[in-house]
Amino acid sequence: MRSAPEAGRDWGNQYRLVASEKWKAKSVAMGTPVTEALVEYACPVHGLRVLDLASGTGEPAISVAMRVGPEGSVTALDLSQDLLEIAEKRARSRGLKNFSTQTGDAHSLPFANNTFDLGTSRFGVMFFRDPRNALGELRRVLRSGARACFLAWGPFDQPYWKSMMGVVHRHVGGPLLPPDGPNPFRFAESGSLSQVLRAAGFNSVEEKNVTLPWTWPGPPEEVWQQARSVAVPFRPMLDKVRADQWPTIEKEIYTEVGRYYDGQKIAFGAEVILASGRK
């Protein structure tokens, strides 16, 4: 999951775990097909000026920067300066000179009207406090004819979520997610993201559901540790688990995740939404 513009300090703290040396390479490997799918969907070309919202540790902003070339530029925006510092280091390691970061809120973008040629966001739009307002802000800073392209999670009922958070939920009951908290599945219902894009003033709106590779290169115990470290929306549910319940729950999780494990990797697959609109 990506950092959210109004998720607050907890998102940055959790993402430090993801960016740690222990899980960094494997987290990147799992997310690469999803990043590539959004980049291909957005079709960045040389010379474009691009804004990536809720960039977190730098994707797809870094991949887009590699596409637009030195004549173009990419600005990565996030509320967390800590995450953006990681993104800057990653961009520098690739020798990118056309990449910059900006701390800011998607609901009040610190840019002039008609500034960018393309807008992107990977696993961010679901967490905007007021999606219509945030998308309206993005539309304001896009130039006439520019596209905004998003990738969001599909339904909870898919292997990655059901085999781990679903198991915990069966044991503790209650709400899966707080009704007033961040919801990764906010736009899982077909057409719901398109509706918000139109309400924000976008035209030529498109949306499609796709299933992409979502593969962890390691055993079930590893992916569960990684999932818990980034499970900010599920934190209230996880906090309800008693210490004496964890051995039973984790045994069941390893069994469920093991159904997708071939001895080297765990091939979950990811059902996601790709959506876009044009100013």
In tens, the pLDDT along 134-175 reads 999 999 999 999 999 999 999 999 999 999 999 999 999 999
The rounded percent of the chain whose pLDDT value lies above 70 is 92
Question: Residue 143 sits in which domain range?
Answer: 9-278
Residue 1 lies in a domain: no
Whether the pLDDT of residue 222 is over 50: the answer is: yes
pLDDT at residue 24 in the model: 74
Residue 138 lies in a domain: yes
Preceding peptide of 60 cis, ω within 30°: yes
Residue 263 lies in a domain: yes
Residue 2 lies in a domain: no
If one counts every other C-beta atom within 10 angstroms of the C-beta of residue 35, the result is 21
CATH number of 80's domain? 3.40.50.150
Residue 23 pLDDT class (50, 70, 90 cuts): confident
Task: Kindly give, in sequence order, each residue whose CB lies less than 8 Å from that of residue 95, ignoring residues fewer than 6 positions away.
Answer: none
pLDDT at residue 230 in the model: 81
User: Is the pLDDT higher at 129 or at 231?
Assistant: 129
**Burial of 125: CB neighbours in 10 Å, binned 0-12, 13-18, 19+:** buried
pLDDT at residue 8 in the model: 46
The structure tokens listed for 213 are: 């590779």
Q: What is the pLDDT of residues 54-92, one digit of tens each?
A: 998 899 999 999 999 999 999 999 998 888 998 999 999
The rounded percent of the chain whose pLDDT value lies above 90 is 83
Range in 186-195, 228-237, 257-266 with the lowest mean pLDDT: 228-237
Residue 130 lies in a domain: yes
What are the phi and psi torsion angles at 58 (to 5°)? 120, 5
Residue 47 lies in a domain: yes
For 80, which DSSP code?
A: -
Tally of structural domains, the chain: 1
pLDDT at residue 224 in the model: 95
Helix runs in 200-241, H state only: 220-229, 235-238
Residue 70 lies in a domain: yes
Residue 194 lies in a domain: yes
| pLDDT (mean) for 26-53 | 96
* 125: enclosing H helix or E strand: none
The structure tokens listed for 107 are: 């609901």
